[in-house]
């Protein structure tokens, strides 16, 4: 699918795009090159979507390009599964990197040479201290660190030891390569940061070729430089790493000078987003997997039926800034509804069926009624829905003793069956325990299509399905995974899991046409919400996920805010 046809075509403005615009105008860069640089140690989540839309969006908006780069410098936590899943998810979101797929590990040989370049220039040294000893000497925010006794080791000695580190002569942790900067720097990242560590581990791509691996700081900016990245966009936690980023680029014979810019991470209410937390949810079995429809992962959202356009729309609306923010998940939900409302075909499905026998409808007869597929989209056309003597309606659309304002079915009351007829409830049938198991109704044959020729009105319109022709289905309803709005505070997020985040209904009935819904496609079950066909579906068991209900809390919040702003009757 091409992104050009979508909302993203309107070029947004933000401080990053302003920088790019000015760099192009002044000629600092000729063509913009960005990259999306995930570490392949988990699945992508909605927070990553912000980075993806920004990086690929900037590349596209300014006629440049965006690379897909895996930051695979930590062999012990990375897996092929993640590398494949990440690519699938970025494509799903609507972006493509053409031939520009890179791995930091592609650059290992170059990074090694650049490390030797630093050593030769007196800018790096092999340190024999252990990780603990290095930590102890690092100092604090208020106190300077202490020089390592190996700091002034001659370059030749460091070069020799570095080669032997690579050759596998030393065990893990025996030595590291450090930049030689300033142990008294106010920025702890500049206190002789580690550039290489020994790790005898199989790497998913380079296998056993290497037993020394560069750190993030010595891989990221260097990969940017090798690939010709002009604007290296990352989240704010890397702001303090920027001086080191620049220090290294300045000293290395790089083919270009990339610059790093930071923006705020996306945080969402009722949502945890760090991969570490998501891995825990999966490993401890709190969810069914990475693609559990309750997960904020892109694959979870896809399985839930969220259209990628809705995610892009949402990311476009929240914008890009430096100030940290916690975005109301209702805004994302609004974008999902907005998109689905325009696209999802309407169907009828009954989640909690109650049988209705229409006593004056001839037994054994059936007729096809015409139903509109999507009132928002005339071109979606109409379909035929079978109607007969026995139908199902929603159990909670009937009350024996209705309170005021309950306008649905009740004894003696007339309502409209959507696209069908007016019916009046004439009796109830109970089982031995007294529970209502069936309703008896009469219909008015003059009201075919749902309107009375004499102009009489009814207050309620119900959805329904033909008992003879409806398909049985399982429906999974989802609620928020967490019960607390602000999940950003550290602590045991497991305690905040919502115990009722999923409800499985196994005895639902859907109109025959709903059976033709493709896996992953979304329909609206009228009055119930949006539902997509889950991949768990088999020949004998049709499974729907509720993507989202119909009620739009975000629109309500905005309306209330609007009223308040106009000095209206807000609280
Ligand atoms: P997490 O903290 O969830 O483990 P990460 O930052 O370790 O994420 P990476 O794989 O390193 O994950 O991220 C790839 C890119 O996505 C990085 O540039 C990172 O800054 C960006 N990113 C990650 N989380 C968010 C977020 N919540 N909002 C915006 N960008 C994000
Ligand atoms: Mg990371």
Residue segments in the chain with a per-residue pLDDT below the cut of 70: 1-11, 552-555, 566-571
pLDDT in tens, 22-35: 999 999 999 999 99
By most ligand atoms within 8 Å of CB, the mutation choice from 44, 48, 272 for ligand 1 is 48
Instruction: Give 488 Cα–ligand 1 centroid separation in angstroms.
Output: 15
* Run of H or E residues at 370: strand 366-372
Bridge-based pairing of strands 194-198 and 176-179 is antiparallel
Q: Active site includes 265?
A: yes
Which pLDDT belongs to residue 453? Answer: 95
Instruction: Please report which ligand is nearest the Cα atom of 39.
Output: 1
The pLDDT, as a whole number, for residue 565 is 74
Pocket test for ligand 1, best of 16, 39, 47 (most atoms within 8 A of CB): 47
User: Do 291 and 264 form a contact (C-beta atoms < 8 A)?
Assistant: no
- Note the pLDDT of residue 554: 66
Residue 520, pLDDT score? 86
**Any atom of ligand 1 within 6 Å of the Cβ of 69:** no
> Residue 2 has what pLDDT?
40
Tally of residues, the chain: 571
List the catalytic residue out of 265, 317, 395, 484.
265
What is the per-residue pLDDT across 319-375, written as a single tens digit (0 to 9) for each? 999 988 899 999 999 999 999 999 999 999 999 999 999 999 999 999 999 999 999
Strand partners, 357: 390, 440
Contacts of 392 (CB under 8 A, 6+ apart): 350, 353, 354, 355, 356, 464, 465, 467, 470, 509
- The bridge status of strand 346-347 relative to strand 382-388 is unpaired
> Which pTM was predicted?
0.93
The predicted-structure confidence for 223-245, as pLDDT tens digits, reads as follows 999 999 999 999 999 999 999 99
Please give the pLDDT value at position 5.
40
| β 353-358/390-394 pair status | antiparallel
Does the beta carbon of 280 lie inside 6 Å of ligand 1? no
Angstrom distance (rounded) from CA 385 to CA 390 = 14
CA distance 177 to 183: 15
Judge whether 39 counts as a catalytic residue.
yes
Residues 93 and 53 sit within 8 Å (Cβ to Cβ): yes
Structure confidence at residue 466 (pLDDT):
98
**Spatial contact of 306 and 488, defined as CB atoms under 8 Å apart:** no
Q: How far is CA 126 from the centre of its chain?
A: 42
């Amino acid at each position: 699918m091409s992104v050009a046809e979508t909302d993203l075509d309107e070029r947004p403005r933000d401080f990053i795009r302003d920088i790019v615009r000015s760099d192009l105008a002044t000629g600092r860069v000729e063509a913009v090159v960005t990259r999306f640089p995930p570490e392949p140690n988990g699945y992508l989540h909605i927070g990553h979507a912000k980075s993806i839309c920004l990086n690929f969006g900037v590349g596209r908006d300014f006629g440049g390009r965006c690379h897909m780069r895996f930051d695979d410098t930590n062999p012990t936590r990375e897996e092929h599964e993640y590398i494949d899943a990440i690519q699938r998810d970025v494509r799903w979101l609507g972006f493509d990197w053409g031939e520009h797929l890179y791995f930091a590990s592609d650059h290992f040989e170059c990074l090694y040479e650049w490390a030797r370049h630093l050593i030769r220039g007196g800018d790096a040294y092999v340190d024999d201290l252990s990780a603990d000893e290095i930590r102890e000497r690092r100092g604090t925010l208020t106190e300077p660190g202490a020089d390592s006794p190996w700091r002034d080791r001659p370059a030749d000695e460091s070069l020799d030891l570095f080669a032997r580190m690579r050759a596998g002569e030393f065990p893990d942790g025996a030595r590291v390569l450090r930049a030689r900067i300033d142990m008294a720097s106010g920025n702890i990242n500049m206190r002789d940061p580690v550039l290489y560590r020994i790790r005898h581990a199989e790497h998913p791509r380079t296998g056993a070729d290497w037993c020394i691996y560069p750190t993030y700081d010595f891989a990221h900016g260097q990969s940017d430089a090798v690939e010709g990245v002009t604007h290296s966009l990352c989240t704010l936690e890397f702001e303090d790493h920027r001086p080191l980023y620049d220090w290294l680029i300045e000293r290395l014979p790089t083919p270009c000078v990339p610059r790093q810019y930071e923006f705020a991470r996306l945080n969402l209410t009722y949502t945890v987003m760090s991969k570490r937390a998501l891995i825990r949810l999966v490993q401890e079995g709190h969810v069914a997997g990475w693609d559990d429809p309750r997960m904020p992962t892109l694959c979870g959202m896809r399985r839930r039926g969220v259209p990628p356009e809705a995610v892009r729309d949402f990311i476009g609306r929240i914008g890009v800034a430096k100030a940290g923010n916690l975005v109301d998940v209702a805004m994302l939900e609004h974008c999902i509804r907005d998109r689905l409302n325009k696209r999802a075909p309407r169907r009828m499905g009954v989640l909690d069926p109650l049988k209705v026998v229409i006593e004056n409808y001839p037994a054994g007869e059936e007729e096809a009624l015409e139903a509109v597929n999507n009132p928002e989209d005339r071109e979606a056309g109409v379909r035929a829905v079978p109607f007969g003597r026995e139908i199902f309606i929603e159990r909670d659309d009937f009350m024996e003793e209705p309170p005021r304002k309950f306008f649905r079915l009740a004894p003696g009351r007339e309502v409209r069956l959507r696209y069908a007829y007016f019916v009046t409830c004439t009796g109830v049938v109970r089982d031995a325990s007294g529970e209502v198991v069936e309703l008896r109704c009469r219909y008015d044959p003059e009201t075919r299509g749902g309107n009375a020729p004499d102009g009489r009105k009814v207050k309620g319109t119900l959805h329904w399905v033909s008992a003879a022709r409806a398909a049985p289905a399982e429906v999974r309803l989802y609620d928020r995974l967490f019960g607390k709005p602000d999940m950003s505070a550290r602590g045991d997020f497991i305690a905040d899991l919502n115990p009722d985040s999923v409800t499985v209904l196994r005895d639902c009935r859907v109109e025959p046409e709903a059976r033709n819904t493709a896996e992953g496609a979304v329909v609206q079950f009228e009055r119930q919400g949006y539902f997509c066909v889950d991949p768990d579906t088999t020949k004998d068991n049709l499974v729907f996920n509720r993507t989202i209900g119909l009620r739009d809390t975000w629109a309500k919040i905005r309306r209330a805010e609007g009223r308040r702003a106009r000095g209206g009757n807000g609280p």
